[in-house]
Structure 1
Amino acid sequence: MMIIRYIREDDINDIYQLAEKAGYGLTSLQPNLEILAAKLKRACDTVRGKLSKADQGYFFVLEDTSINKVVGLCGIEVALGLSEPWYNFHVGTQVHSSKTLNVYKAHQTLFLSNDHTTCSELCTLFLDPDYRKEMNGKFLSKIRFLFIAAFRNIFEKRIVAEMRGYSDEVGNSPFWDAVGHKFFNMEFRKADYLSGTGQKSFIAELMPRYPLYVDMLPAAAQEVIGKVHPNTLPAYKLLLGEGLRFQGYVDIFDGGATLEADVENLRSIKESTVLPIEIVEAATLNEAEPYLISNDHYQDYRGLLIQHDPEQKNIQLTQAQAEQLKVAQGDVVRVLSLNPKEHKA
């Protein structure tokens, strides 16, 4: 059975293996045991109520209970930029005109920004390639929205998600080569690693404070501004379905799009509901569809992906499912269709 739960400190070895598989570009998941251990402790301390808002971050894992192995993880940062600056580029417009010469030109610019300070962030989504099947990816990503719906008061009014930008099969980024490399004099992978390990002071020290004109960049760099890595495209489309949109902000390293939304406009806030459960030997379903369900127990949060008939007024679970979800007959669970109504598959 596949379940989602909070990350634990004893998951460190499985998380390290996932980090090794993540490859280039996933800044927040680096194969460094010391840094990963600190990340796991911070996540656990968040649930324990030991941290201030500036340091809080929730991390969830997808566990294959048949082999007791963590095969994916995802996270939510509560508030960005409160303990250290949060940077991105805002894609803006600079107009130059001359009535004398009858010239009017509008140029795209990149301006270093801290505009997403205090936003919550969807982060660190990674699923073992062997488990990229049977809706596991959607399950892992979307459980965060169900958690936000259950504990709305924890998070900020606006939420963002940085998408991995384009890089080639060996980790070269045309955007980095044209922009970051000129100011940092290091390879993309090294800058990406330093940022992912919390060493971000060099960004403020070395990045330009004045707008960069996009027209002055090589064509290869211009073409990837606001684009996402091919491997990230499914996650990008998934977030669009949940209500996030591109509003002109991109990553300072690889130019990848940042998506954002007001939390009150997320599909999970509008459509999730709470239903009682019924323990059955086997579910009797007529028109079954995939649904996310969670127990809404803050100290021991659990989520499952089940088949549910939306016409039914309760949720049918087997005893094994109920035990994994840590609920009993008559308890209620939070429910959300896996697929947006207009895109059900």
Structure 2
Amino acid sequence: MIIIRPIQHSDYDALHRIAIESGHGFTSLPVNEELLKKRINQAQTSFQKTVTQPGNEGYLFVMEDTATGEVVGTSGIEAAVGLDDAFYHYHLGKVVHNSRELNIYNTVETLSLCNDYTGATEICTLFLSESHRKNNNGRLLSRMRFLFIAEHLERFSDTVIAEMRGVSDENGRSPFWSWLEEHFFSMDFPTVDYLSGIGKKEFIAELMPKYPIYVNLLSKEAQQVINKVHPKTVPALRLLEAEGLTRRGYVDIFDGGPTVEAETRTIKSIRNSKKCQVIIGDVPNDNKYIICNTEIANFRATQAPLLLRETANQAVISEEIANALKVKEGDWIRLIRN
């Protein structure tokens, strides 16, 4: 069976392996022992913490295959970004150059450095091992975060964002960064990506151009990847777009990848999720749902068939699923059709 649970200290080796597998551009999981252990410690503290409003909590979940005990994926939520470290984006804007006398009217796109998403909730760190990219496991790993948010709304902001990995090649070369590197930084993309991932962001404020950049001055290669995602990120983007997250013209300062956003309560899996009381019984093997319990430190989620009794706000689940979710008859669960 596949379950999702909060990360534990014993998951370090698996998280380190996932950080290596995820490759260049996966900034939230640097291959760094100190930082990965710090991320686990922060998650453990966050899951145990009493919260009335979002702060610097970071929730990190893992997907476990109970048949083997192997951790095969990870998924995270940052409650409110930018409270401790500046959270940078470029915003795509327009400047008009107009001369009536010369009958010239030109519209030029610009990139302006900003901190507009400070305080927003970020869903992040989504990675699934190739061996388990089947049976809707990716959908489960992505969408269960919204059930957790729906159940614990006081812990999260009114806006949810997701930064999507931008275009880079197998050697970690980003066409967008290559232009910035040439003119401002003299550091390659894997290096700046790693430094950002381990929290050393001072160089951004020190070296990043302070004034808007005219897009048409960038190399053609760089222009072509602005607001575009890495081929391996396309399925994740489609999932989020189906949830109602959309682009608002914000892109990553390193690889030009898009950031998508939505008002928290309007997200499909949050808006349409149901809370039901558990009945344990026989269930037909169809109509699979994503299901989670209502806990925090003992959170569990999985996908399984169930029998919904909507008028009574009840859901029939098997004893096996009840045990996996650590619930008993009469407890509450939250669910959404997968």
Give the Cα separation in 2 of the matches to 1:168 and 1:120: 29
Match of 2:143, as an amino acid?
Answer: K
Equivalent position of 1:16 in the other structure? 16
Deviation at 1:179, TM superposition (A): 2.1
Match of 2:276, as an amino acid?
Answer: L
Equivalent position of 2:129 in the other structure? 128
Match of 1:5, as an amino acid?
Answer: R
Give the Cα separation in 2 of the matches to 1:23 and 1:167: 11
Instruction: Quote the RMSD (CA, aligned, Å).
Output: 1.6
- TM-score of the superposed pair, with normalisation by structure 1: 0.93
Deviation at 1:299, TM superposition (A): 2.6
Deviation at 1:44, TM superposition (A): 0.5
Give the Cα separation in 2 of the matches to 1:155 and 1:54: 8
Give the Cα separation in 2 of the matches to 1:262 and 1:277: 30
Match of 1:294, as an amino acid?
Answer: C
Deviation at 1:277, TM superposition (A): 2.1
3-state SS of 1:60 partner: strand
Give the Cα separation in 1 of the matches to 2:288 and 2:89: 36
Structure 1: gaps spanning 5 or more residues:
339-345
Moved beyond 6 Å, runs of 4+:
none
Match of 1:299, as an amino acid?
Answer: A
Equivalent position of 1:65 in the other structure? 66
Alignment of 1:69-218 (within 5 A): 69-218=70-219
Distance 1:222 1:198, change over 3 A: same
- TM-score of the superposed pair, with normalisation by structure 2: 0.95
Equivalent position of 2:332 in the other structure? 332
Contact conserved, 1:181 with 1:188, CA < 8 A, in 2?
no
Match of 2:319, as an amino acid?
Answer: Q
Deviation at 1:254, TM superposition (A): 0.2
Equivalent position of 1:4 in the other structure? 4
Deviation string, structure 1 residues 301-343 (Cα, Å, up to 9, x no partner):
11010123557664332222211100012222101112xxxxx
Give the Cα separation in 2 of the matches to 1:180 and 1:160: 27
Give the Cα separation in 2 of the matches to 1:332 and 1:159: 25
Deviation at 1:243, TM superposition (A): 1.1
Give the Cα separation in 2 of the matches to 1:95 and 1:152: 42
Equivalent position of 2:290 in the other structure? 292
Deviation at 1:48, TM superposition (A): 1.8
Deviation at 1:124, TM superposition (A): 0.6
3-state SS of 2:297 partner: helix
Equivalent position of 1:30 in the other structure? 30
Deviation at 1:111, TM superposition (A): 0.4
Deviation string, structure 1 residues 57-100 (Cα, Å, up to 9, x no partner):
11111011111121111111011111111001000001111111
Contact conserved, 2:308 with 2:316, CA < 8 A, in 1?
no
Give the Cα separation in 2 of the matches to 1:247 and 1:272: 26
Distance 1:50 1:182, change over 3 A: farther
Structure 2: gaps spanning 5 or more residues:
none
Contact conserved, 1:180 with 1:253, CA < 8 A, in 2?
no
Give the Cα separation in 2 of the matches to 1:332 and 1:276: 4
Give the Cα separation in 2 of the matches to 1:70 and 1:55: 26
Contact conserved, 1:289 with 1:310, CA < 8 A, in 2?
no
Q: Which moved further from structure 2: 181-190 or 134-143?
A: 181-190
Q: Percent identity among equivalent residues? A: 43
Give the Cα separation in 1 of the matches to 2:40 and 2:119: 22
3-state SS of 1:55 partner: coil
Give the Cα separation in 2 of the matches to 1:176 and 1:162: 16
Q: Which moved further from structure 2: 289-298 or 132-141?
A: 289-298
Deviation at 1:217, TM superposition (A): 1.1
Equivalent position of 1:341 in the other structure? none
Match of 2:60, as an amino acid?
Answer: F
Give the Cα separation in 2 of the matches to 1:180 and 1:255: 13
Match of 2:299, as an amino acid?
Answer: Y
